Amino acid sequence: MSLTTLYPLWLAPLCVLLGVLYAWVLYRRGDPALGWGRPLVLVLALLRCLAVSFLAFFLLGPVVRTWVREVRKPILVIAHDGSASLAIIGDTAALKRTYHPALEQFAASLAERYDVRTFTYGNAISDGLNFDQKENRTDLAQLLRDVHDRFAGPDLGAVILDGDGIVNRGRDPRHEAARLAVAVHTIALGDTTVRPDLLIRNVEANRIAYLGNELPILVHVEAHHLGGKRSRVRVTQGEQTLAEKELIVHSDPYQNQIPLLVKASRPGIQRFKITVLPLPGEYTEQNNTAEVVVQVLDDRQKVLLLGEAPHPDMGAIRKALEGSEAYAVTSASFSSFSGEVVEYDLVVFHRLPSIRQNAADLLQRCTQRNIPVLHVLGAGMDLQAFNALGRGCKCRAHNALPPMRGPCSIPRSAFSRWTHP
């Protein structure tokens, strides 16, 4: 433990001198009027000296440093590959019967000198060593990234990985391993022989799409020892094929990105299955499929077409609006409509308010909720009620045609003809 100050420590005696000087100035004569004796004056002077000295010393910013030595074991990460590819190739029983206890014993022997942390990696990262071998994806980069985020620093000593080296998801793990700045040791398991295989390495797609839009899907395809063969990449939903494209393996090894477009035709959570049709001679077909889940949002403008009664004009308006994917049109007569106008972005009133249908309550709700309205005027409207709405214009009814008269004949000198006044 040591005492240091922000300012030079030789100023400390000056703090004591300041306290003595302050006490001497205040108590050098005592206080005869109060009847204080000399002992009391000395005690007060001493207390004043100590208080001022300490206050002045605290202004120097004293800091007490205490050195504590803590010995921590270096962290050693042991990660096991939980992918199903280890079970496909090799003796699974031997893996569980022999290798599993050997790895557990190895981790226990290192626990005396290291802080051992064990994990199992595959689709996700889990604590402990799990030998179920049920993971259908292997993302080694995610494991190394998780180790970096949790343990990166001077305490991390090394990382020990086992597995067959088959990675079918995520980035190149070498970049994440370089970020750790520690030794990464590997234990080879399974069969690393490259066999004829056509597989989907990764699928990229937006997590959110909008109804009616084209959803791009990028399929990363890889092939080994299948040069010159043809296959097809297909996107399906249920039993329906949404997109399909031919795939030609030009080289060995072969890697390519296949772009596909799928129309988002239904709102909600949609699941799409991507399949690469298997080829003869493939070692396994379990890696020929992948799935993506997309949330399709319905952002179309909802239009309510409300009429006094069925009319051809309403059908024409609806057909014109439905020609654009930006609108979702609902058509109904006023007497049969039982919904809420708050669900719509625009309400079109056809010949409303009318003499037979009083739509005052519905119009008032549109005004209160600030819902835009569009009026289509026609015969049978209650123009007085419409003018009372204050839409910015006044309408009045009048006869558009002159009074009809019957035809009559007017004789002329040269000829006779029919005239219409």
For residues 14 and 79, state if they share a domain. Answer: no
On whether both 96 and 170 belong to a single domain, the answer is yes
Question: Is 409 part of a structural domain of the chain?
Answer: no
CATH number at residue 154: 3.40.50.410
- Residues 221 and 246 placed together within one structural domain of the fold: yes
The verdict on residue 262 lying in a domain is yes
Could you tell me the two tokens for 146? 């998780």
Amino acid (one-letter) located at 419: T
Number of domains in the chain: 4
pLDDT of residue 7: 85
Asked if 317 and 372 sit in the same domain, the reply is: yes
Domain range enclosing 40: 2-65
| pLDDT score, position 405 | 57
Contact 406, 380 (CB under 8 A): no
Token digits for 15? Answer: 């703090």
Give the per-residue pLDDT at 421. Answer: 45
Instruction: Say whether both 254 and 293 belong to one domain.
Output: yes
Residue 362: its pLDDT value, please? Answer: 81
Same domain, 52 and 89: no
Residue 16 within a domain: yes
Beta bridge mates, 204: 218
Same domain, residue pair 179 and 234: no
Q: Are residues 181 and 90 in the same domain?
A: yes
pLDDT of residue 416: 47
Does residue 395 belong to any structural domain of this protein?
A: no
Distance of CA 62 to the CA centre of its chain: 50
The CATH code of the domain that includes 313 is 3.40.50.2300
Q: Do 221 and 260 sit in the same domain of this protein? A: yes
Alpha-carbon span 414 to 96, nearest angstrom: 123
Q: How does DSSP assign 17-71, residue by residue?
A: HHHHHHHHHHHSS--GGGT--HHHHHHHHHHHHHHHHHHHHHTT-EEEE------
Structural domain contains residue 293: yes
AA letter at 386: F
pLDDT of residue 299: 77
Q: Are residues 220 and 152 in the same domain?
A: no
> Residue 402 falls within a domain, yes or no?
no
Do 352 and 293 lie in one domain? The reply is no
The last residue of one of the domains, among 274, 297, 320, is 297
Strands (E) in 149-288, as ranges, are 156-163, 183-188, 197-205, 208-210, 214-224, 230-237, 240-248, 254-263, 268-276
Q: What is the CATH number of the domain that holds 229?
A: 2.60.40.10
Q: For residues 194, 197, 201 and 204, what is the CA-based torsion angle, rounded to 10 degrees?
A: 160
Last residue of a domain, one of 250, 271, 297: 297
Q: Is residue 396 part of a domain?
A: no
If we measure between CA atoms, which residue out of 48, 85, 37 comes closest to residue 197? 85
The domain boundary, picked from 65, 88, 120, lies at 65
| Spatial separation of the C-alpha atoms in residues 101 and 324, rounded to whole Å | 65
Residue 405 domain-assigned (yes or no): no
pLDDT tens, the chain, 421 aa long: 778 888 888 888 898 999 899 888 887 776 655 566 778 878 888 898 999 999 998 888 888 888 888 888 999 999 998 887 777 665 566 677 788 889 999 999 999 899 999 999 988 888 998 888 788 778 889 999 999 999 988 889 999 999 888 777 778 888 889 999 899 999 988 776 778 889 888 899 999 888 888 899 999 999 999 988 999 999 999 889 999 999 999 888 899 999 999 998 888 999 999 999 999 988 888 889 999 999 998 877 888 888 888 888 888 888 888 877 778 888 888 888 888 888 888 888 888 888 787 777 888 888 888 888 888 888 877 777 777 777 777 777 766 555 555 555 555 555 444 444 4
Residues 184 and 201 in one domain: no
Give the three-class secondary structure for 83. strand
